[in-house]
Amino acid sequence: MLRGPAGAWAVLGPLLWGCGLALLQGGMLYPQESRSRERKELNGLWSFRADFSDNRRQGFEQQWYRIPLRESGPTLDMPVPSSFNDISQDGRLRSFIGWVWYEREAILPQRWTQDLGTRVVLRIGSAHYYAIVWVNGVHVAEHEGGHLPFEADISKLVQTGPLSSCRVTIAVNNTLSPYTLPPGAILYKTDTSKYPKGYFVQNTNFDFFNYAGLHRPVLLYTTPAAYIADITVTTDVDQDTGLVNYQIFIQGSDHFHLEVHLLDEEGRVVAKGTGGQGQLQVPRAHLWWPYLMHEHPAYLYSLEVKLTAQTSAGPLSDFYTLPVGIRTVAVTERQFLINGKPFYFHGVNKHEDADIRGKGFDWSLLVKDFNLLRWLGANAFRTSHYPYAEEVMQLCDRYGIVVIDESPGVGIVLVQSYSNVSLQHHLAVMEEMVRRDKNHPAVVMWSVANEPSSFLKPAGYYFKTLISHTKALDPSRPVTFVTNSNYEADLGVPYVDVICVNSYYSWYHDYGHMEVIQLQLATQFENWYKAYRKPIIQSEYGAETIAGFHEDPPLMFSEEYQKGLLEQYHVILDQKRKEYVVGELIWNFADFMTDQSPQRAIGNRKGIFTRQRQPKSAAFLLRERYWKLANETRYQPSATRSQCAGKSPFTL
């Protein structure tokens, strides 16, 4: 039976898809090459300087952006993308708080600087946390927030002079405040008998190292002056016909014509349309299925959009191709449905984290992680605790790895972080996130936060507003946040569609007593379910484990203890998944760096893989479990509706 509010959006979602769009101004399409578009990556070595001055403002006082950085003082070579923290041997840089400066020259093709029908855009994938950007000394952009892209149209700047190069300067500040996401606070230590004058530290309430810098690709790309600014696609299924609703935003011209073609994986046109908005119908559609749920998961169509526009510079064409997965998502009182079939999340929580590069994007690491996920038989992950790189989301679409897409709302524990200023910023971040990730079939649910103090009085209004805003932006997906509050005290959970609960039985309390886990976990599930009658995901559980530590009988921190603890959880998960538990996500996929503290032996060691991606014993245990779960929950299409005759099943 469909539950009230969730049921309503499950039914109305596809019809309402146009309404949410109106709230999203502007687009954030992934920059791609096409017949009308070029891109030039600015990855590689940049000049770099951290501003160690007492007030950290020397760079602004001396206007470091006006002349090449090397002319205003010494610089370091800094790779982009990468965090800057672990690159040098300078301990001060590892824990640096304040402004750092990046600079790089880019040579532009002549056409980009001479053809006024070309638009040149500078795009920064992620700058943590606050960024100011200049091109040739001219301020072009400013952005708050460390995990989402932003861009600046620099055509006018590069098309006005005889220059064929441009100098890009980016100042990045990693300071967090109670009003940023995630929140943090600078603490001045004023006792001069203990600390030097002006001494301060940054306190945070999250458990990962606050890596900073230019974490994702920086690039220049072009579009014609009249261009496809945004595309939004939602999908539905009627019997065996796939429905693809599209809406396209154009900028740079009021007089244009749009053609859309939907192509299957063989390149055959299966549907076409014209105009900025419409519905394509695909008879006998191949649905997008999660990994291991179907013999041919992750089927992607291509939506080819062609714009022909009249402009003052003459007629222009623009081409953009969007991958489209046709699938539905719905929530009932006890189930999470994908394409109308019960889906069980068996997967992991991750971090963007690795040796040396910190949170810097790296293709080798990315592909290795996806190979490990597939080896493990994981069908899902949560982007704990911030949106991951766009390239990660693209691979999830291609491999069928289902995503709970989480905002950087982690560590919202202080009362100030529930202020109007914080809420407004959080709403804006959700807009940026939905705008960026709305077209990914892999994304099946938004998570607005992790472990906030949702028992505090202002949390009720805060989460009600935040969740309803997110639903208004995207009525096609359920919304949640991840709680660790008591079920009776939580003021945010009434507004979620799926309850996501973190618990660390026999780890953060009852140390060493694995015998209490079953009772405590069963009580947890029963309490939440009785109170809300909503499906539940065990969104974190785990134990700190130093690879190579062995103790039998199991002791904390040994590989045996991690395995034993997981096994105790699995007993209850196996009972409750027959009722209303719809998923289990281990904490964590891999060990990761944190702040230094007596509880952390060089980072958080709850990974089932080490930070170098080698398996601990628990990885083999989970692998056996996940493949078994996959076999039990696989959807068997009837012979007549088989969607992939002649194709080999996807197995490892």
| Catalytic machinery residues | 451
Q: How far is the CB of 180 from ligand GCB (least distance, A)?
A: 17
Euclidean distance between CA atoms 512 and 579, whole angstroms: 29
Q: Considering beta carbons, is residue 560 or 595 the nearer one to ligand GCB?
A: 595
Chain residues 369-388 in contact with ligand GCB, contact rule CB under 6 A: 385
Contact 567, 584 (CB under 8 A): no
Among 180, 245, 407, 502, which residue interacts with ligand GCB (rule: CB under 6 A)? 502
Specify the length of the chain in residues.
Answer: 652
Kindly state the tokens that stand for 523: 């009580």
d(CA 45, CA 43): 7
Cβ–Cβ under 8 Å, residues 401 and 370: yes
Do residues 473 and 434 touch, judged by C-beta distance below 8 A?
A: yes
CB of 449 vs ligand GCB, minimal distance in Å:
10
**In whole angstroms, how close is the CB of 170 to ligand GCB at the nearest point?**
28
Residue 383 Cβ, how far from ligand GCB at the closest point, in Å?
Answer: 12
Q: Residue 297: what are its φ and ψ, rounded to 5°?
A: -75, 165
Q: Which is nearer to ligand GCB, 379 or 484 (CB)?
A: 484
Residues 540-569 that bind ligand GCB (CB under 6 A): 540
CB of 377 to ligand GCB, least distance (A): 23
Number of residues that bind ligand GCB (CB under 6 A): 10
Question: What single-letter DSSP state applies at residue 134?
Answer: E
Spatial contact of 433 and 427, defined as CB atoms under 8 Å apart: no
Q: Among 136, 253, 450, 454, which residue sits at the site for ligand GCB (rule: CB under 6 A)?
A: 450
Q: How far is the CB of 509 from ligand GCB (least distance, A)?
A: 12
- What is each CA distance from 588 to 156, 382, 613, in whole angstroms? 47, 10, 12
Q: Taking CB under 6 A as the rule, does residue 490 contact ligand GCB?
A: no
d(CA 453, CA 409): 11
The least distance separating ligand GCB from the CB of residue 349, rounded to whole angstroms, comes to: 8
Note whether 51 binds ligand GCB by CB under 6 A.
no
Q: Which is nearer to ligand GCB, 395 or 413 (CB)?
A: 413
User: Which residues lie below 8 Å from residue 297, measured CB to CB, with a gap of 6+?
Assistant: 288, 289, 290, 291, 399, 400, 650
Q: What is the DSSP string of 344-374?
A: -EEEEE--S-BTTTBT---HHHHHHHHHHHH
User: To the nearest whole angstrom, how small is the minimum distance from the Cβ of residue 206 to ligand GCB?
Assistant: 6
Q: Does 604 bind ligand GCB (CB under 6 A)?
A: yes
CB-nearer residue toward ligand GCB: 385 or 570: 385
Nearer to ligand GCB, 334 or 606 (CB): 606
Residue 534 within binding range of ligand GCB, rule CB under 6 A: no
**Min dist. Cβ of residue 571 to ligand GCB (A):** 22
Tell me the residue type at 337. L
Closest approach, Cβ 456 to ligand GCB, in A, equals: 17
Residue 42, φ and ψ in degrees, nearest 5 = -105, 30
Minimum separation from the CB atom of position 504 to ligand GCB (A): 6
Name which position in 406, 437, 451, 474 contacts ligand GCB (CB under 6 A).
451
By beta-carbon proximity to ligand GCB, the closer residue of 361 and 587 is 587
φ/ψ of residue 430, rounded to 5: -65, -35
Interaction with ligand GCB in 337-366: which residues (CB under 6 A)?
none
| Closer residue to ligand GCB, CB minimum distance, 103 or 406 | 406
Of 6, 3, 21, the closest CA to residue 474 belongs to 21
Is 537 in contact with 581 (CB distance < 8 Å)?
Answer: yes
Our CB check for ligand GCB shows the closer of 100 and 573 to be 573
**What letters, b where the CB count within 10 A reaches 16 and e where it falls short, cover 325-345?**
bbbbbbbbbbebbbbebbbbb
Total H helices, total E strands in the chain: 12, 32
Q: Pick from 620, 627, 597: which is nearest to 547 by CA?
A: 620
Place of tokens 């069980």: 344
**Residue 168: strand pairing partners:** 104, 135
| Position 207 contacts ligand GCB (CB under 6 A) | yes
What string marks each residue from 396 to 435 as x (binds ligand GCB by CB under 6 A) or -? ----------------------------------------
* C-beta closer to ligand GCB: residue 26 or 512: 512
Six token digits for residue 333: 């009182």
Q: Is 137 left (phi over 0), alpha (psi -120 to 50) or beta?
A: left
In terms of CB distance, is 183 or 217 closer to ligand GCB? 183
Go through 80-96 and write b for each residue having 16 or more CB atoms within 10 A of its CB, e for each that does not: bbbbbbbbeeeeebbeb
Q: Which CB atom, from 540 or from 584, has the smaller least distance to ligand GCB?
A: 540
Direct distance between the N- and C-terminal alpha carbons of the chain, in angstroms, rounded to an integer: 36
- Position 584 contacts ligand GCB (CB under 6 A): no
> CA–CA separation, 379 vs 272, rounded Å?
32
Whether the ω angle into residue 129 lies within 30 degrees of 0, i.e. cis, is yes
Residue closest to ligand GCB (Cβ): 207
- CA pair distance 85, 98, nearest whole angstrom: 12
Q: Which of 101, 587, 609, 626 binds ligand GCB (CB under 6 A)?
A: 587
- Using CB under 6 A as the binding rule, whether residue 606 contacts ligand GCB is answered as yes
Enumerate binding residues for ligand GCB (CB under 6 A).
207, 385, 450-451, 484, 502, 540, 587, 604, 606
